[in-house]
Amino acid sequence: MAGDALGGNSMSSTFDVDLAKANLLRVRAEYRKAEDICLNILRTYPNSAATHTLLGDICSDQGRLEQAAEWYELSLDLDPNSQADQQKLDDIRDQINERDHISAVAQLGLPKQRVSTPTWTITGITIVILMAICLGYAIRYGRIGDNSQPQVIDTPIRAGKMDVVPVNLPQDTLHPKSSAPILDNHPLNSPVPPVSTIPKDDQELQDIVAHKSKWGPRLISIKQDMLTKITTVVFSWPEGENEREIGSDLAKTVLESTPDPSTIILRAMRKDKLMYQAEVSRDKYDETQTDEWQQQAASPDAWIDYILTNELYGKAIAEANQAAAAGASGETPPPASSDASAATGDGQKQGSKDPS
C-alpha cells in the first residue's frame, strides 16, 4: 500500500491531518503556528509540493512577497504542471513589481496631481445656472439698465410649473437645484438595493468554506473554472473517516456560498495520492432542498447518496481518466479492469471504501 512505503498508514494519516491543521491555522491568521507545522512536515516529506504551496500562501498573507515567491517556485520545481501554483507565483511577482514602482515614485518625489473638489464644481455650476435664469427672466419681463418705473405685471402669481421657458437656455436649467444627473428617471444617488457578498477568487471561496463547513479542516484547495462552470474541491481523507460524508458536506457549502458552479468535482487525497473522486451537480442538490424531496427521503443522509455520482476509487480513477483522454483524441480506450468496474456505480452507495 502507498502508506506502507513511506513508513506505515499512521504516518500517511498524520501527514494529511497536519497539513489540514496548518491550513486552518493560516485561515485563522495564526501564521507562526501554521509555518512551524509545515516546516516539521518538510523534515519528513521534503518533496511535498502541497506543503511548499501552503508555506507560500502563509508568507503571501503576511505580505512577505519575496519569501512567498520562493516557496511557490520550489513547489513548481516539484510539480511543474500545477497551474494554480503558477498563477499564484505570477500574482506575487506582479505585486512585487507594483510595490517597487510605487516606492520608486515616492523616492523621486513626483508631485501628485491636484484634482478639483467635486463639491465646488457642482456649486459653481449651480450658481451659473441660477444667474442665467435670473438674466433670462429679466430680459423677458423687465428692462435692464432702465432707471424708469419698472413695468407692473398684473398676472397673478400661481404656484406650480413655469408657463414660459427662458429663451436660449438648456432644458436642464429648469431644475437648477438638482446636482445629481438623472438616468432612466432615477437619480444617480438614489438608494441601491444591497448586493449579496459573492467570493471573488479561489482563495476567498476556500477561506469561506473552511470556516462554514463541518469538515473545513480537511479542505486542501478549491479551483473554479468560470467558463465550464466546474469547481474542483480537493480534500484530505485520513484512514478511518468517511470520504463521502466529507466530500458531500464540502460540496454543499460551496454551492451555498457561490452561484457560479453547476458541477462540483470532489477529489480525496491521501499522502499526495488521489484515492477517491466523485461529481455533484447543482440541479441534484437543489432537488434535495425541496420540501417534497425531504418528505420522501428514507433517512436524513439520503441526500448524500442522491447527489454523489460517478464515484471512483484508487486505480479506477486513473483508468477512467485514460479512457476519457483516449476518447477525446479519437483513440479506442483500453478495456476497463474488473477493479475499476467494482469501484463505480450504485455499489458505492452501500458505504465508504478504503482503496488502500
Quick one: 83 and 13 in the same domain?
Answer: yes
Greatest mean pLDDT among 110-124, 270-284, 317-331 lies in 270-284
Q: Which residue has the cell 506505515?
A: 8
Within 10 angstroms of residue 221's Cβ, the number of other Cβ atoms is 19
pLDDT for position 329: 63
Instruction: Looking at the structure, tell me whether residues 64 and 124 fall in a common domain.
Output: no
Domain that residue 284 falls in: 202-313
Task: Tell me the CATH number at 81.
Answer: 1.25.40.10
For residue 193, being part of any structural domain is answered with no
Residue 248 makes CB contacts below 8 A (sequence gap 6+) with 266, 280, 303, 304, 307, 308
120 and 76 in a common domain: no
Domain membership flag for residue 163: no
Q: 206 and 308: one domain?
A: yes
Residue type at 312? L
133 and 206 in a single domain? The answer is: no
Q: Under a CB-based contact definition with an 8 Å cutoff, are residues 18 and 26 in contact?
A: no
Paired with 278 in beta bridges are 266
> Do residues 125 and 76 both lie within one domain?
no
Is residue 252 within 8 Å of residue 281, measured between CB atoms?
A: no
Tell me, yes or no, whether 100 and 126 share the same domain.
no
**Residue type at 74?**
L
Q: What is the CA radius of gyration of the chain?
A: 33
pLDDT at 323: 77
133 and 220 co-located in one domain: no
Whether 350 maps to a domain, the answer reads no
Residue 126 maps to a domain: yes
Looking at the structure, tell me whether residues 211 and 278 fall in a common domain: yes
CATH number at residue 273: 3.30.70
Whether 187 is in a domain gets the answer no
Q: Check whether residue 234 and residue 300 sit in a common domain.
A: yes
Helix (H) or strand (E) holding 101: helix 83-108
Over residues 146-178, the pLDDT tens digits come to: 555 555 445 454 544 444 444 454 554 444 444
**Nearest-angstrom CA–CA distance, 59 and 93:** 13
118-151, pLDDT tens digit by residue? 566 677 788 888 888 878 777 776 555 555 555 5
Task: Specify if 321 maps to a domain.
Answer: no
In tens, the pLDDT along 86-127 reads 999 999 999 999 999 888 888 776 655 554 455 666 777 888
| Element spanning 339, H or E | helix 338-342
Q: Indicate the number of domains in the chain.
A: 3
Cα 128-130-133 angle, rounded to 5 deg: 110
- What is the full DSSP assignment across 237-301? --TTS-HHHHHHHHHHHHHHH-S--SEEEEEEEETTEEEEEEEEEHHHHHHHTSHHHHHH-SSTT
DSSP 36-60: HHHHHHHHH-TT-HHHHHHHHHHHH
Write down the pTM of the prediction. 0.45
Nearest to 350 by CA among 315, 301, 314, 316: 301
